[in-house]
Amino acid sequence: MNFQELYKTYSKQVYNLALHYVQNIEEAEEITQDVFVSIHQSLESFQNKSTLSTWIYRITINKCLDFIKSKSRRNRIAFLTSLFSNNKQDVRFYLPNFDHPGVLMEQKEAIKKIFECINTLLPNQKTVLILSKIEKKNHQEVAEIMGLSIKAVESLLQRAKQNLANKLKQNEGS
């Protein structure tokens, strides 16, 4: 399979996964580009220890988490500098610009609130929720992508759902 065919086959998968992580079109496009550049550079070293799809999922997840970490760091610096300025605008560390094209208009506000809470979860809990509930992968597939046992995935998913429910309740209360 040449690179163009690979792109045609997997671009939708990569782009949508990036959208679920960052919920923003421009940022998802940037991540998608980085993922495919990375794939192009390391395709020769792909050792068939997993399927191509699983390998691409892992690259995408890592790129997304790196992007979010880097953006949080920049926002944190901006927040610290804002403490010393007169501008008291609240700077949030998680991603504020919600623009997910896969979300129906009538559900946008509700899903935006859910994602605001998902974005505060630990990376592996966020990943397991996205893969199971949005990407609709079964536990076996999630375990393969995340390099965990099926039991570990079930336990992680349970914790993620509980934490998310607690955060949503707290937000409703405030």
Partner 1 sequence: MDTEDSFLKLLETIQEVESPEFLFTRIHQKIESVRVNQISPRLAWGLAVSFCLLITINILILKSNEVVNHENNLIENLHISTDNDFYK
State the residues that interact with partner 1 by CB under 8 A: 4, 7, 11-12, 14-16, 19-20, 29, 32-33, 36-37, 40-41, 100-104, 107, 110-111, 114, 129, 133-134, 136, 161, 164-165, 168-169
Question: For residues 12 and 76, which CB has a smaller minimum distance to partner 1 in the complex?
Answer: 12
Residues sharing a CB contact under 8 Å with residue 54, sequence separation 6 or more, in sequence order = 144, 145
Helix axes 52-83, 3-22, angle to 10 degrees: 40
Q: Could you tell me the smallest distance in angstroms from the CB atom of residue 8 to partner 1?
A: 8
Question: For residues 7 and 93, which CB has a smaller minimum distance to partner 1 in the complex?
Answer: 7
Residues sharing a CB contact under 8 Å with residue 39, sequence separation 6 or more, in sequence order = 3, 6, 56, 59
* Number of helices followed by number of strands (H, E) in the chain: 7, 0
Q: Which amino acid is at 120?
A: T
Q: Could you tell me the smallest distance in angstroms from the CB atom of residue 164 to partner 1?
A: 7
Question: For residues 33 and 70, which CB has a smaller minimum distance to partner 1 in the complex?
Answer: 33
Q: Could you tell me the smallest distance in angstroms from the CB atom of residue 39 to partner 1?
A: 9
Residues sharing a CB contact under 8 Å with residue 68, sequence separation 6 or more, in sequence order = 21, 22, 95, 119
Question: For residues 23 and 143, which CB has a smaller minimum distance to partner 1 in the complex?
Answer: 23
Q: Could you tell me the smallest distance in angstroms from the CB atom of residue 87 to partner 1?
A: 34
